[in-house]
Amino acid sequence: MKRVPKRTSVDMSIELAKLRLESPVLTASGCAAAGKELDQFIDISTIGAVVTKSVMLEPRSGRATPRMAETPSGMLNGIGLQGPGIDDFIEKDLAWLNQKGAKTIVSIAGNNVEEFGKVADKLRDIPGVIGIEVNISCPNVENRGQVFACDPYAAADVINNVRRNVSASMPLFAKLSPDVTDITEIAKSVVKAGADGLSVINTLLGMVIDTDTLLPRLSGKTGGLSGPAIRPVAVRCVYQIRKALPNIPIIGMGGIRSGRDAVEFFAAGANAVSVGTTVFNDPEACVRVHDEVAQILQDKGLRSLAEIINAAHEELI
Amino acid sequence: MPIVHKGTVVDNKKVGNYFVLTATAADMPKEFKPGNFVAVAIGDERSSLILRRAFSIYQVNDRGVYGGTVDIVISPHGPGTDYLANLKRNDAINLVGPLGKPFSLPKDPVPCVLVGGGYGAAPLFTLAEALTARGCRVDFILGASTQEKLFGMLEARRISTTLTVTTDDGTSGQMGQVTDALPEVIKKSNAAVIYACGPMKMLEAVANVANMHGIVSQTSVEESMACGIGVCMTCVLPIIGDDGITRMLRSCVDGPAFKGDKVRWDQVGKIPSDTWGAPVEGVN
């Protein structure tokens, strides 16, 4: 039987940009494909939203294997954005999600600024799409592979171009990389360029070396580090951005494994959370984390999730 | 439908170099078909090893004293498998399954050769039973580098018309590899289908022998997985589709058994340049 959130007296609904969601727990891009596989374990329409794997304009094979290495309380991955391309994605994956009644936030990626805009344009008027997450943590092929998310101007260019290609009412979330000196600088830049909210954080760049071969374990040599190991970094990023931008909607993510972990993000300033790598360990994790958060709030004698959001910022409450 | 089951260990016995672990599995045996696998968590919800390990289902029992149970075969060779090998009766174990596409079975009662490399032989015994039930003749070949690494010889002998054993060092059966013995077994049994599970190099060699004899092979591949359920995209390999186009398919949901002539064996671990969506020079 598919798991669904338990009934609770605690109000778990949230406001996120222009959205109202019944659950604050979302999937994380790249950790849930397009929802179909997880729907065998949980009713995908009962979680906050499905954030789909980043889709690009054209089909993409991704990188050669090995694409993954286990690390202490985490994993390193270098999938290389394997995907069907936006047309096939709309025709098959989005149609399925919409038919299931899922709320979908589509993660988009591009090789250059224009490609982001083209992918976003394809999503106009597609039913079931409640928001777009812009994965700016990919290399800009037109600027020697410099990652958009690491440069405030390049990041703003992408968001600006996406903004011009979607309706004014479509919520746009920029997904930020922690691999920067000052994440609030990037945050301010993308908000100014038209982002309605921020997804915080993407993976950290890492490397694992095989001590038998003495070579990097992943075919792409470096990869993105995720899982509970990165959680303190993620909580810190959410906290700093909340302090810098007191009103910006934030989807917090990075190593959330339990309801208690999610509570850290809410207190740091997240309005919603995404559960990513933990889904590989527990396919029911998005619903379980929702239930655990509700239980924690109930045990604290609270009536709504809203009461703990920003709680770590004494000046904001 | 696969389920997440918080079970317990019923038994964990050492067999040669391996451990056969029996765990409670609720309704998994009812859903099970030969070739399915389970993804097993390492440790509890605080464990620092967060990725599940995939194991072929070796046996199932749907009405034992403990309700449904599944058996898996563990070859300890790292922190995850060492942990599982050390589990004792009544220890907690968390399984997701049954996962993966099962082996395709022939419609007609044709002779089949089942080839297992080391503990890779694990899924072939329930397959042999299913084939026998359809009236297929079953011949087994089991191979390994050395005697202690062979798995399931008694069972294979019980369930097959013939059993051929090979070891690289000659400590049991014929000295050599499974593919040295395969042509003779194909000839004697007049085989129409070969099923194989084991190391990738063995599967490639078996698929080549099958192709040379013009017969069908089904190879159950081993690629490292992070989730086992189709969401992580780490366990891909290049597979030729019915339309002739090569795509990077997930061994967990599109496999683990693929037709041997559809796997681009020489390109496993690479992206063939004609793959659907392959990088264009200077772009990706």
Output the domain CATH number for residue B231: 3.40.50.80
For residue B284, what pLDDT is reported? 42
Structure tokens at B150: 């062979």
Res. A317 pLDDT band, cuts 50 70 90: low
Cα separation, A274 vs A30, whole angstroms: 11
Are B130 and B245 in a shared domain? Answer: yes
Q: Would an 8 Å CB–CB cutoff place A70 in contact with chain B?
A: yes
For residue B224, what pLDDT is reported? 86
Output the domain CATH number for residue B25: 2.40.30.10
Q: Is residue A114 part of a domain?
A: yes
What total number of domains does chain B contain? Answer: 2
Say if residue A315 is exposed, middle or buried (CB neighbours under 10 Å; 0-12, 13-18, 19+): exposed
In chain A, which ranges are continuous DSSP H helix?
Answer: 86-88, 95-99, 113-122, 152-164, 183-192, 231-244, 259-268, 278-281, 285-299
Are B116 and B74 in a shared domain? Answer: no
Are B237 and B135 in a shared domain? Answer: yes
Residue to mutate among B44, B47, B231, with most A CBs inside 10 A, is: B231
Q: Is residue A7 part of a domain?
A: no
Q: How far is CA A66 from CA A217, B38, B263, in A?
A: 7, 21, 17
Are B95 and B129 in a shared domain? Answer: no
Res. B281 pLDDT band, cuts 50 70 90: low
For residue B69, which of B20, B125, B9, B122 has the smallest C-alpha distance?
B9
For residue B133, what pLDDT is reported? 96
Could you tell me whether strands B112-117 and B193-197 are parallel, antiparallel, or unpaired per DSSP bridges?
Answer: parallel
What average pLDDT does the segment B5-23 reach? 96
What's this model's pTM, rounded to 2 decimal places? 0.96
Average pLDDT, chain A: 96
For residue B4, which of B53, B51, B44, B40 has the smallest C-alpha distance?
B40
Whether pLDDT at A255 is above 60 = yes
Output the domain CATH number for residue A153: 3.20.20.70
Residues of chain B in contact with residue A66, where contact means CB-CB under 8 angstroms, are: 224, 234, 269
For residue A142, what pLDDT is reported? 80
The phi, psi pair for A3, rounded to 5°, reads -80, 140
Cα separation, B35 vs B250, whole angstroms: 15
Are B171 and B208 in a shared domain? Answer: yes
For B62-120, how does the pLDDT look when each residue is reduced to its tens digit (9 = 90+)? 987 888 999 999 999 999 999 999 999 999 999 999 999 999 999 999 999 999 999 99
Are B259 and B118 in a shared domain? Answer: yes
**Last residue of a domain, which of B64, B99, B134?**
B99
Residue B254 to chain A, least CA–CA distance (Å): 12
Q: Is residue B106 part of a domain?
A: no
For A29-82, how does the pLDDT look when each residue is reduced to its tens digit (9 = 90+)? 999 999 999 999 999 999 999 999 999 999 999 999 999 999 999 999 999 999
Question: Is A138 among the residues known to form the active site?
Answer: yes
- % of residues, chain B, pLDDT over 90: 94
Q: Is residue A120 part of a domain?
A: yes
For residue A182, what pLDDT is reported? 97
CB pair distance less than 8 Å for A74 and B50 = yes
Whether pLDDT at A244 is above 50 = yes
Minimum Cα–Cα distance from A63: chain B residue: B271
Selected residue with higher pLDDT from B223 and B154: B154
Are B116 and B36 in a shared domain? Answer: no
For B108-166, how does the pLDDT look when each residue is reduced to its tens digit (9 = 90+)? 999 999 999 999 999 999 999 999 999 999 999 999 999 999 999 999 999 999 999 99
The interface predicted TM-score of the complex, written ipTM, equals 0.94
Whether pLDDT at B234 is above 50 = yes
For B237-251, how does the pLDDT look when each residue is reduced to its tens digit (9 = 90+)? 999 999 999 999 999
Res. A141 pLDDT band, cuts 50 70 90: confident
Q: Is residue A160 part of a domain?
A: yes
Domain around A284: 14-316
Average pLDDT, chain B: 95
Domain around B133: 112-267
CB pair distance less than 8 Å for A280 and B1 = no
